Amino acid sequence: MGKFIIETEENLLKLTICENAEVNVESLKKLYRILTKEDKITVIKLERYIYMEKEARDFMNRIENRRTNSNITIIADSFSENLLANFYNKFYKPTYPIKVFRKEKDALHWLKLNSSENDFKFFLN
């Protein structure tokens, strides 16, 4: 199973897929069960050297239309993870907006611009 870190704050859920994680269908099913309990805007951070099996990508594509959230951002600061995220976005064409960034501040800015104000009340400090 892959290694994941899940953090929540207000209406934001941050998921980190840790370095050297091997993501398979079984790990995605467990992760999906956790994520569907949280109806929050999601930021996914991809650390280096993540391997995702083809079956796992296909599984993600089959279940992605069940997601209630409208926006998701992916932070991928390494070339290979950026390539993986953009490949998924372009090849599988998810039904909800996905945007890939190299920096968290840019990802949060995009989410703020593309989500309702209520979703981002924690920005209004």
Q: How is 15-56 classified by DSSP, letter by letter?
A: EEE-TT-EE-HHHHHHHHHHHHH--SEEEEEE-SS-EE-HHH
CATH 3.40.50.720 fits 4-123, yes or no: no
Q: What is the pLDDT of residue 103?
A: 92
pLDDT tens digits for range 52-103: 899 988 888 787 666 555 577 889 988 988 888 888 888 877 777 788 999 9
> Is the per-residue pLDDT at 118 higher than 70?
no
Tell me the pLDDT of the chain averaged across its residues. Answer: 80
- Provide the pLDDT confidence category of residue 125 given band limits of 50, 70 and 90: very low
Provide the 10 A C-beta neighbour count for residue 103. 10
Min mean pLDDT across 11-15, 20-24, 94-98, 107-111 is at: 94-98
**Residue ranges per domain, the chain?**
4-123
Asked if 54 and 29 count as a contact pair (C-beta separation under 8 A), the reply is no
Asked if 2 and 27 count as a contact pair (C-beta separation under 8 A), the reply is yes
The amino acid sitting at 62 is R
Q: What is the pLDDT of residue 65?
A: 62
pLDDT tens digits for range 39-49: 778 888 999 88
Pairing of strands 22-23, 51-52: parallel
- Going by the DSSP 8-state scheme, the letter that residue 78 receives in this structure is S
> Taking the C-alpha atoms of 52, 41, 78 and 104 in order, what is their torsion angle to the nearest 10 degrees?
-170
Q: What is the pLDDT of residue 66?
A: 63
